[in-house]
Structure 1
Amino acid sequence: MKTTINTLPETGFMRLTQIIGNSKTNTPAIIPVCKSTWWAGVKSGRYPKPVKLGERCTAWRVEDIRNLIAGA
C-alpha cells in the first residue's frame, strides 16, 4: 500500500522510518530521501523540527509532515 497525504492520520506522531521509509521492513517512503539528507534538511529548516518523546525517541508531528507534503 502506498502512503499518501490522504492515508496519513489527522494527528499524532511519526518516526523517521515512517517518513523516509525502510527497505529492511518494506516500509514505503512518504518523502524519499536518505537519513543524512533528512537531518541536513531539518538543520537548514527545509524539513520540520522533531519532537523528543523520550530520551531516545524522536518523532515528527503528522500535521507538520502533512504541511510539508502540501507545500505549505
Structure 2
Amino acid sequence: MPEIYSSALIGFNSLPDEGFVRLPVVAALWTCSRGTVWRWVKEGRIPAPYKLSPRTTAWRAGELRAALAKIERD
C-alpha cells in the first residue's frame, strides 16, 4: 500500500461516527484514486460527501464504516 494511503488512515477507527474525513482517507479506505472516489460517489457505491464550506468537502466516518460493512456482507 502506498505510504500516502497508510498515513491517511491513521486514527480513522478512533474517530466518532459523526467525525469527518477528507478525500485522501476515502481513497485509502477503498484503495483507489481520487478520481475513482468521485466516480463511485456518482454511481452510489460510496456515500456522498458533505459540503462544509465553499472549498471543503468531507465524509462522515460512520457513513463510510457502514458502506464498508455492507460491502463485506455482500
TM-score (norm 2): 0.71
Runs of 4+ in 1 over 2 A off after TM superposition: 1-4
SS at match of 1:58: strand
Percent of aligned pairs with the same amino acid? 35
Q: 1-side partners of 2:14 and 2:70: how far apart?
A: 16
SS at match of 1:39: helix
- Extract unaligned runs of 5+ from structure 1: 21-28
CA RMSD of aligned residues (A): 2.3
By percentage of residues, which structure has more helix?
A: 2
- Extract unaligned runs of 5+ from structure 2: 1-5
**Count of residue pairs the alignment pairs up:** 63
TM-score (norm 1): 0.73
Residue 7 of structure 1: CA displacement?
2.0
